[in-house]
Amino acid sequence: QSALTQPPSASGSPGQSVTISCTGTSSDVGGYNSVSWYQHHPGKAPKLMIYDVNKRPSGVPDRFSGSKSGNTASLTVSGLQAEDEADFYCSSYAASNNFVFGTGTKVTVL
Amino acid sequence: QVQLVESGGGVVQPGGSLRLSCAASGFTFSNYGMHWVRQAPGTGLEWVALIWYDGSKKYYTESVKGRFTISRDSSKNTLYLQMNSLRAEDTAVYYCARGYSGCLDCWGQGTLVTVSS
């Protein structure tokens, strides 16, 4: 199972929006609505930000939103804040109870 | 609150074995599937294994099949990962995470495994 493809980096100024793509295949992203996104500050536990493509867990700001079209999912962070600077990973269910993560995107707040 | 605490990491020689533990608290452990995920130095997250809520089914990424075994003890609220025939490429921070609706909704802080002679 190959990793999902994400851009290595994304950036924006405070208050701006940034969108991260996550490209897979019809065997993972395109085949299931079990796409999730995780924020990871180095040295800390990863945090679930979006699940089931576009659902936010309790406590996650509505500045974070998710979507999917075909084999590509996206995470949008609106109104960027300094604390949003982190690594972001997408993940998808990939059949037969396997899961696959994306390559990761480092978000920088300029 | 939900808490997952990994332990058991360390330095091991190639070909050696190690058992990781993940102590769970703050939720009904026996109601949830549990995962292991790892992150090798300078790389991204990699899903390693999943065990169903009742331990009846276990799934692994291809690279660890036959070498790693995931298990759980609901009487101790603890998840395990037995790692045998370790290779240099298994060097990583290993995280345990709770499974929920096709995602991993709570994670531990991780434990570092270094495979080196």
φ, ψ of residue B30 in degrees (nearest 5): -70, -5
Q: How far apart are CA A21 and CA A74, in angstroms?
A: 4
pLDDT string in tens for chain B (117-residue length): 999 999 999 999 999 999 999 999 999 999 999 999 999 999 999 999 999 999 999 999 999 999 999 999 999 999 999 999 999 999 999 999 999 988 999 999 999 999 999
Residue B87: how many other CB atoms lie within 10 Å: 13
By Cβ distance, the residue of A32, A87, A97 closest to B50 is A97
Average pLDDT, chain A: 96
- Chain pair A-B, CB pairs under 8 angstroms: 72
CB contact burial A13-30 (16+ within 10 A = b; e otherwise): eeeeebebbbbbbebbbb
Rg of chain B over Cα atoms, rounded to whole angstroms, equals: 13
Work out whether the CA dihedral A84, A52, A4, B6 comes out positive or negative: positive
A106 touches chain B (CB under 8 A): no
- Amino acid A96: pLDDT: 81
What span, in angstroms and rounded, lies between the C-alpha atoms of B32 and B90? 26
Average pLDDT over residues A86-106: 94
User: Is the pLDDT at A95 greater than 90, yes or no?
Assistant: no
pLDDT of residue A76: 98
Residues B99, B30 contacting (CB under 8 angstroms)? no
Determine the pLDDT at residue A97.
82
Give the pLDDT score at B34.
97
Please count the CA atoms within 13 angstroms of the CA of A44 that sit on its side-chain side: 11
- Beta-strand pair B45-51/B58-60: antiparallel
Mean of pLDDT values over A37-42: 96
CB neighbour list of residue B65: distance below 8 Å, 6 or more residues apart: none
Q: Look up residue A90 and give its amino acid.
A: C
A51–B61: do the CB atoms touch at under 8 Å? Answer: no
Per DSSP, B28 falls in state -
pLDDT at B117: 93
**For residues A53 and A35, what is the distance between their CA atoms, to the nearest angstrom?**
5
pLDDT reported for residue B107: 97
Segment among A3-12, A49-58, A89-98, B33-42 with least mean pLDDT:
A89-98
* Banded pLDDT at A91 (limits 50, 70, 90): very high
* Predicted pLDDT at A1: 77
Could you tell me if A99 and B47 are in contact, meaning their C-beta atoms sit under 8 angstroms apart? yes
Residues of chain B whose beta carbon is less than 8 angstroms from a beta carbon of chain A are 4, 35, 37, 44-47, 50, 57, 59, 61-62, 95, 97, 100-110
